[in-house]
Structure 1
Amino acid sequence: MIPRFKKQKKAEKLETYPVLPVKDNVLFPGMALTLNIGEERSKKLIADLKPGDKIIITAIKDIKQGVADPENIYTTGLIARKIRTVHERDLILLAVHGEKRVKIDEYTEKEPYFKATITTLVETQPPEDAATEDKIFQIKELGKQIIIELGLPEEAAHSFETITDPGLLTDIVASNMRIEKEDKQQLLETLDINERLDKIETLMIKEIHRIGLTKDISNKVSQEMDKSQREYFLRQQLKAIKEELNEGEIDEIDELEESIKTAGMPSEVEEAALKELGRLSKMPPSTAEYTVSRTYISLLIDLPWSKSTEDNQDIEGAKKTLDEGHYGLEKAKKRIVEYLAVKKLKHDMGGPILCFVGPPGVGKTSIAKAVAEALGRKTARVSLGGVRDEAEIRGHRRTYVGALPGRIIQAIKKAGSNNPVIVLDEIDKLGYDYRGDPSSALLEVLDPEQNNSFSDHYLDVPFDLSKVLFITTANSLHNVPAPLKDRMEIIDFPGYTQDEKLTIAKRHLMPRQLERHGLTKGQITFDDEALSILLEEYTREAGVRSLEREIATVLRN
């Protein structure tokens, strides 16, 4: 039956005690307990207590429901005496000593904290016979076994020897044993000590089985680890035997060693790769370090240390390729043709660092890709918009979980050659925060005097970027740091005139949109007047993106 709040008359006076509900503890008579008090209602109760004052300690049923509802509080609890309180930040540590079992009869107050009247509960003593003595002896023996299984000091086992009171024995065992709160509450509510002896014995046997199961699992895990170590040493012995007999298949370590030697690495890099391979050969394959080391060696092998594509020496052909894909942009085209002409005379010339600056839609990114096609090189694009972490450029150190090389090295690996055209798009959109400044990391990448030995944190060996043709794009140079701007050759892309847009629409935009919409020139025609109307009345831009969208809209309708 759940106690109700009692409506008292003004003249009626009853002895009441404050009620302190606790979440995950059950206090037993004769036991001391330190409680963490964080709930505001309970803090108010503690503030009114003096040393030696008595309160009712009782457990709550469902932690999720909290302590505001009396129906969520067990009616059987304990009268306890306050020993002391310690304040720590937002918590109050309350030390109490349990005295006797009680039952809450009625709640008399709810605010600022619970108060209630109680009835002292009387325990039923067991008969003084051999059966009771046997139960007490059995519980003591089980207690000693649990203490030994847990590896606790032997002195703790001797503490049971002096206890003769069966009720006190069950309370001490219940208070110190790791059992569920509900089981402890049942033991607290059990007033028949003989019945309580039976319950505590059952719980102790379950605890011994649980400890044994935990030990079995630990032993199995240990055996599996020992097995892995044993397998590793046996594999090493088997490898040595096969080498002596000159038989057996080449294992993974041998394959990696062969790949390292044929990858065309510089001597310094090859030495570092072989050293890492030596570490790998001593690791068990089941360890996490093995996977990290194996991935690193694979990256070193996959990088194009000595793989280059041959540049197109046909200057006229390159100029024709640029003209076919883009109208206008003569300054950018002229600079690429000049580079090809000088490259034809001096084969070991490094790549220039170009920066295409102009409003959106004027063809900066697309002509950068066309440059790679004209040169006969492979291309890779790196989008820098919104990049804030320096590790995106330089890579993460391999000590971090999930470490990766930087975007520059990833682009080189993707391109598959050491002289690709790398397009660094939206360089003016770089950001910076507590993780570093990516624009500062780009200073080494875009400096021809330094990038012949670019150091990526993940690689930890130098990589030559001097053969790479870097082309960066930006809408504005206002957000580009001066040292970075100084390393690049700026090529301005002004907005197109109306006549240039008209020509671009007829030569490039119309054929492309007709193909995308599955139409032919015979099915639809656009005269100059119609295109001029689209330009003058429907678009307001320096580039031609909006114009292409308007043409697509007309074709769909």
Structure 2
Amino acid sequence: MVAVFAPPFGEKNIELPEELVLFTVPLRDIVVFPHISMPLLIGRPFSIEAVRRAWESNRLIFLPVQYDKEKEEVGEEDISKIGTVARIIRIATVEDNRLKILVEGLARAEAEKYFFDDVVTAKVKILKEEVPELTPEDKALIQEIKELLEKAVSLGKRIIPDMLYLIKSEEDPVKFADFVASVLDLKTHDALKLLETRDLRERLKLAYQFLYKEVSLLELQQRIREQARKTMEKEQREYFLRHQLKAIQEELGVGKNPEVEEYREKLSKLNLPAEVKKQIEKEMERLERLHPDSAEAGVLRTWLDWVLELPWNKKTRDRYNLKRAKEILDRDHYDLEKIKERITEFLAVRKLTKGKTKGPILLFVGPPGVGK
């Protein structure tokens, strides 16, 4: 089966017949839009053969989208009905006998029937573009898309300057919509959705929605980068200032704070949990930066003295000798019989349960000097 139409090579404005039969290359992970030139790498044998035959005949080819990119062999249900009729501009053989071609999209088309032999061919119908008279709302939408594109570029989106200029200066709304679609960072199914949308207004709205999402993502990425940059700058500044302070102290002969060094020596001898040790070291660094006579420095010294004197990881063995306990209570405390009895009861319960119960905690209340 051969194509039925052969345009003169090099002609810019090609009048395509309403129906024609073309060699077909199902594309994986890419969509070619009308009015856009794009390089393609062709690797499957049946696609390579289709390109060669198209090149030798009329240089026109039909480019639909393959739904499942992992499939090597395809059937009619695996290929989109809507695709792009394109002209092959250049063809070259690269490594592994694959072909690298440059194509120019000409028009949207719908496959009425696919034919599968040693190559894929399709009977296609050209989809005529109806250009409505632009309303003020349409013009406002086009202007908004142009401004969003400029914003995307300012946020780091890569668009060739010539392409950006072409989009901004294009007055044909059909070409404008396809130009915009070609520069969007879209997944294959989203790009295909744009290609399949025949109504121009709906296509412009859809392109705006995709572009708006992309700009929102770029803004978020920029905020993340800015936060990371500020964090790095702060850390670098603190690192520089600490080293500068150290150099100044050494120059003045101040050296290290002996009080803090004494605390560090005590800390090194203790077997503390990691979180506790980290907090103590943090407070030591604060003390080192404070003026020795400041009120906050006094509070920190008190806290460090207290926390470093605590019996970390030290335990005593409980003794439940009730007779011995009563002797000690009678020897050291006169009267207070009810309190002594309560203490003895508490120890008795602990002895019976071998210290495993979560019993009450004794609280001694009274003024100073009464024997608490």
The TM-score, its normalising length taken from structure 2, stands at 0.58
1:241 deviates by 5.5
Q: Residue 102 in 1 paired to residue 109 in 2?
A: yes
* 1:183-241 Cα deviation digits (max 9, x unpaired): 11111000000111111111111111111122222222322322332232232134345
Q: Residue 84 in 1 paired to residue 90 in 2?
A: yes
| AA partner of residue 206 (structure 2) | K
* 1:336-356 Cα deviation digits (max 9, x unpaired): xxxxxxxxxxxxxxxxxxxxx
Q: Residue 48 in 1 paired to residue 57 in 2?
A: no
Q: Which residue of 2 aligns with 1:226?
A: 233
Residues 250 and 191 of structure 1: is their aligned pair in 2 closer, same or farther, counting only changes over 3 Å?
Answer: farther
Residues 163 and 250 of structure 1: is their aligned pair in 2 closer, same or farther, counting only changes over 3 Å?
Answer: farther
Q: Residue 58 in 1 paired to residue 67 in 2?
A: no
Residues 152 and 114 of structure 1: is their aligned pair in 2 closer, same or farther, counting only changes over 3 Å?
Answer: closer
Q: Which residue of 1 aligns with 2:185?
A: 178
C-alpha separation between the residues in 2 aligned to 1:204 and 1:48? 38
C-alpha separation between the residues in 2 aligned to 1:237 and 1:205? 47
C-alpha separation between the residues in 1 aligned to 2:149 and 2:46? 38
C-alpha separation between the residues in 1 aligned to 2:162 and 2:259? 60
Unaligned segments of structure 2, at least 5 residues: 1-18, 265-372
Q: Which residue of 2 aligns with 1:68?
A: 74
- For the residue of structure 2 that corresponds to 1:170, the secondary structure is helix
Q: Which residue of 2 aligns with 1:502?
A: none
Do the aligned partners of 1:29 and 1:100 also contact (CA within 8 Å) in 2? yes
| AA partner of residue 203 (structure 2) | R
* 1:312-364 Cα deviation digits (max 9, x unpaired): xxxxxxxxxxxxxxxxxxxxxxxxxxxxxxxxxxxxxxxxxxxxxxxxxxxxx
- Cα RMSD, aligned residues only: 2.7
Q: Which residue of 2 aligns with 1:112?
A: 118
Q: Which residue of 1 aligns with 2:363?
A: none
Q: Residue 146 in 1 paired to residue 155 in 2?
A: no
Residues 172 and 233 of structure 1: is their aligned pair in 2 closer, same or farther, counting only changes over 3 Å?
Answer: same
Q: Which residue of 1 aligns with 2:37?
A: 32
1:175 deviates by 0.7
Do the aligned partners of 2:20 and 2:125 also contact (CA within 8 Å) in 1? no
Residues 221 and 202 of structure 1: is their aligned pair in 2 closer, same or farther, counting only changes over 3 Å?
Answer: same
Q: Please point out which of 211, 214, 219 is paired with 2:218.
A: 211
Residues 251 and 242 of structure 1: is their aligned pair in 2 closer, same or farther, counting only changes over 3 Å?
Answer: farther
1:37 deviates by 0.8
1:155 deviates by 5.5
Q: Please point out which of 139, 143, 153 is paired with 1:137.
A: 143
Do the aligned partners of 2:167 and 2:179 also contact (CA within 8 Å) in 1? no
| AA partner of residue 195 (structure 1) | E
1:134 deviates by 1.3
- For the residue of structure 1 that corresponds to 2:185, the secondary structure is coil
1:47 deviates by 2.5
- For the residue of structure 2 that corresponds to 1:191, the secondary structure is coil
Residues 39 and 241 of structure 1: is their aligned pair in 2 closer, same or farther, counting only changes over 3 Å?
Answer: same
C-alpha separation between the residues in 2 aligned to 1:27 and 1:250? 74
* 1:357-382 Cα deviation digits (max 9, x unpaired): xxxxxxxxxxxxxxxxxxxxxxxxxx
Residues 249 and 84 of structure 1: is their aligned pair in 2 closer, same or farther, counting only changes over 3 Å?
Answer: farther
1:154 deviates by 5.8
1:157 deviates by 4.0
C-alpha separation between the residues in 2 aligned to 1:142 and 1:234? 42
Alignment length (residue pairs): 239
Which one has more relative contact order, counting CA pairs under 8 Å at least 6 apart? 2
Unaligned segments of structure 1, at least 5 residues: 1-13, 256-557
The TM-score, its normalising length taken from structure 1, stands at 0.40
Q: Which residue of 1 aligns with 2:243?
A: 236
Do the aligned partners of 1:147 and 1:153 also contact (CA within 8 Å) in 2? no
* 1:447-478 Cα deviation digits (max 9, x unpaired): xxxxxxxxxxxxxxxxxxxxxxxxxxxxxxxx
Q: Which residue of 2 aligns with 1:166?
A: 173
* 1:36-62 Cα deviation digits (max 9, x unpaired): 111122112223232642111011112
Q: Please point out which of 253, 256, 273 is paired with 1:247.
A: 256
C-alpha separation between the residues in 1 aligned to 2:105 and 2:161? 27
- For the residue of structure 1 that corresponds to 2:146, the secondary structure is helix
- For the residue of structure 1 that corresponds to 2:25, the secondary structure is strand
Residues 185 and 197 of structure 1: is their aligned pair in 2 closer, same or farther, counting only changes over 3 Å?
Answer: same
Residues 30 and 156 of structure 1: is their aligned pair in 2 closer, same or farther, counting only changes over 3 Å?
Answer: closer
Do the aligned partners of 1:45 and 1:113 also contact (CA within 8 Å) in 2? yes
1:248 deviates by 2.8
| AA partner of residue 77 (structure 2) | E
Do the aligned partners of 2:37 and 2:103 also contact (CA within 8 Å) in 1? yes
